[in-house]
C-alpha cells in the first residue's frame, strides 16, 4: 500500500519534470517570434509568451506587486484556499443531489425514464449562460429572511457540474449488486431501504469513487469559471484574470495563479482518493 503510494508520487513528479523539459525543449528550438512549419503555425518562444520554468518558480517567492508586500505564493495560497472551500462545498452539494437523484431513479423506474433525459440535457447548457441568472439571485432572493449570498451562487454552479457524473455513476453502481445477493436480502424479508444500505450502496462504491473523482475536478472547474464569469473577488479564478492583465510587464505572474489552481484541484481530488482508500481498504485488489 505505502510502496504503491511512494511509486505513484515519484511517477507524478517525473511526469511534471517531463512536461517542464518539453516546455524548455520547445523554447530552446522554437522560433523566437513565432512562424510557420509546413503550414502549421508555431507558437512564439520569447520570454513574454513562454517564460522559463525556473523563472515561474522564482516568481512565486517575489512580492505580489512590484511595490512590495508578502510573497506572491502566500497571496495565491489564500485565494486558492478560498476557492477550495467553495469547490469542496460545491462537490458536497453536487454529491448530495447526485446521490439522491440516483436513489430516486433506482427506486422508481418511471422517474429514471422521466428524469434522466433532463439531467443529460441540463449538462448541455453552458455554465457561462447560467452564471448571470444565478448571480441575479443574490440580493434579490431571500429565504425566510436569509439573504442568498453571492458565494453560494458559485457553489451552486460548481455543484451543477459535479452533480452529473455522480448521479450517473451512482445509478450504475446501485444496479451492480448481483441478483443472487438481492434475492438473499429478499429471503431475509429486508425492505427496499435496508437492502439499499446493507447491499446496494456498498456494492455501488466501486463505481461511485471514479464518479466522485470526476465530480471533484469538475467542481474545481466550475468554481474557477464561475468566479471569472461572475466576477467575484477573493478566489483563484479572479487572480488568474487580474494577474494575466499584468502579462506585458510581468509575464510569469499569471503562472503563480495557474499553479495555485492546479494545486487546489489536486487537493480536492486527493480528498476523494483518501475516501477511496478508507472505503475500499478491505476489498479484493482487482476491484480497485
Partner 1 sequence: MNAVKVNAVSKVFNQGRPNQVDALIDIDLVVEPGEFVSLIGPSGCGKSTLLRLIAHLIEPTSGDIAVNGKPASQARLDQDYGMAFQQAGLFEWRTVEKNIELPLELKGWDKSRRRARAQEMLELVKLPEFARHMPWQLSGGMQQRIAIARALAAHPELLLMDEPFGALDEMTREHMQAELLRICGATETTVVFVTHSIPEAVYLSDRVVVMSPRPGRITDVIDVDLGRGRNEDTREDTSYYATITQVREALRKVESSRSNPDLAGIEDR
Check binding of 197 to partner 1 (CB under 8 A): no
CB atoms within 10 A of CB 233: 12
Out of 44, 52, 85, 198, name the contact with partner 1 by CB under 8 A.
198
CB of 8 to partner 1, least distance (A): 24
> Who contacts 265 (Cβ-Cβ below 8 Å, separation ≥6)?
216, 217, 220
Nearer to partner 1, 36 or 286 (CB): 286
Q: How far is the CB of 98 from partner 1 (least distance, A)?
A: 21
What is the spatial distance between Cα 244 and Cα 250, in angstroms, rounded to a whole number? 9
- E runs forming strands in 95-202: 142-143, 146-147
Pick the closer one to partner 1 by CB: 181 or 267.
181
Task: For residues 105 and 107, give the distance between their C-alpha atoms in angstroms, rounded to a whole number.
Answer: 5
According to DSSP, the residues that pair with 146 across neighbouring strands are 143
Distance (Å, whole) CA 37 – CA 171: 49
126-185 positions binding partner 1, by CB under 8 A: 178, 180-181, 183-184
Q: Which is nearer to partner 1, 184 or 228 (CB)?
A: 184
Count the alpha carbons within 13 Å of 262 in the hemisphere toward its beta carbon: 7
Compute CA distances 12 → 5, 6, 18, 126, 147, whole Å: 11, 10, 10, 32, 44
Q: Cβ closer to partner 1: 182 or 228?
A: 182
Among 31, 33, 132, 202, binds partner 1 (CB under 8 A): 202
CA separation, residue 125 to residues 93, 118, 120, 280 (Å): 19, 11, 10, 35
For the beta carbon of residue 20, count every other beta carbon within 10 angstroms.
15
- Contact at 8 Å (CB) between 90 and 271? no
Residue 3 Cβ vs partner 1, minimum distance, rounded to whole Å: 20
The least distance separating partner 1 from the CB of residue 203, rounded to whole angstroms, comes to: 8
Q: How far is the CB of 102 from partner 1 (least distance, A)?
A: 19
How far is Cα 94 from Cα 141, in angstroms, rounded to an integer? 21
Comparing CB distances to partner 1, the nearer of 156 and 209 is 209
Smaller CB separation from partner 1, 145 or 284: 284
Using alpha carbons only, how large is the chain's radius of gyration in Å?
Answer: 23
x-or-dash string of contact with partner 1, 257-286, rule CB under 8 A: -------------------------xxx--
The region of 33-41, 104-112, 115-123, 189-197 touching partner 1 under the rule CB under 8 A is: 189-197
Element (H, E) at 63: strand 63-65
For partner 1, the closer of residues 174 and 199 by Cβ is: 199
Query: Binding to partner 1 by residue 288, rule CB under 8 A?
Result: no
188 contacts partner 1 (rule: CB under 8 A) = yes
Binding flag, residue 1, partner 1 (CB under 8 A): no
Please state the closest distance from residue 283 (CB atom) to partner 1, in A. 6
Give the C-alpha separation, 258 to 13, whole Å.
17
Interaction site with partner 1 (CB under 8 A): 178, 180-181, 183-184, 186-190, 194, 198-199, 202, 205, 282-284, 287
Amino acid at each position: 500500500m505505502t510502496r504503491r503510494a511512494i511509486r505513484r508520487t515519484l511517477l507524478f513528479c517525473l511526469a511534471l519534470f517531463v512536461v517542464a523539459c518539453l516546455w524548455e525543449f520547445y523554447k530552446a528550438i522554437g522560433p523566437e517570434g513565432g512562424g510557420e512549419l509546413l503550414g502549421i503555425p508555431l507558437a512564439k518562444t520569447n520570454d513574454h509568451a513562454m517564460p522559463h520554468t525556473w523563472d515561474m518558480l522564482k516568481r512565486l517567492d517575489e512580492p505580489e506587486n512590484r511595490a512590495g508586500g508578502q510573497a506572491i505564493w502566500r497571496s495565491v495560497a489564500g485565494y486558492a484556499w478560498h476557492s477550495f472551500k467553495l469547490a469542496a462545498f460545491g462537490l458536497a452539494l453536487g454529491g448530495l443531489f447526485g446521490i439522491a437523484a440516483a436513489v430516486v431513479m433506482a427506486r422508481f423506474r418511471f422517474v429514471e425514464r422521466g428524469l434522466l433525459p433532463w439531467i443529460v440535457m441540463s449538462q448541455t447548457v453552458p455554465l457561462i449562460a447560467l452564471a448571470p441568472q444565478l448571480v441575479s439571485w443574490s440580493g434579490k432572493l431571500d429565504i425566510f429572511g436569509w439573504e442568498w449570498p453571492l458565494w453560494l451562487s458559485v457553489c451552486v454552479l460548481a455543484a451543477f457540474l459535479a452533480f452529473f457524473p455522480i448521479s450517473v455513476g451512482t445509478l450504475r453502481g446501485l444496479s451492480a449488486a448481483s441478483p443472487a445477493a438481492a434475492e438473499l436480502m429478499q429471503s431475509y424479508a429486508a425492505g427496499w431501504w435496508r437492502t439499499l444500505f446493507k447491499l446496494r450502496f456498498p456494492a455501488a462504491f466501486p463505481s461511485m469513487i471514479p464518479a466522485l473523482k470526476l465530480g471533484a475536478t469538475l467542481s474545481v472547474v466550475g468554481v474557477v469559471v464561475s468566479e471569472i464569469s461572475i466576477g467575484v473577488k477573493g478566489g483563484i479564478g479572479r487572480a488568474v484574470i487580474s494577474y494575466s492583465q499584468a502579462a506585458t510587464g510581468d509575464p510569469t505572474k499569471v503562472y503563480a495563479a495557474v499553479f495555485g489552481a492546479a494545486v487546489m484541484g489536486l487537493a480536492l481530488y486527493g480528498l476523494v482518493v483518501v475516501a477511496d482508500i478508507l472505503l475500499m481498504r478491505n476489498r479484493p485488489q482487482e476491484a480497485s
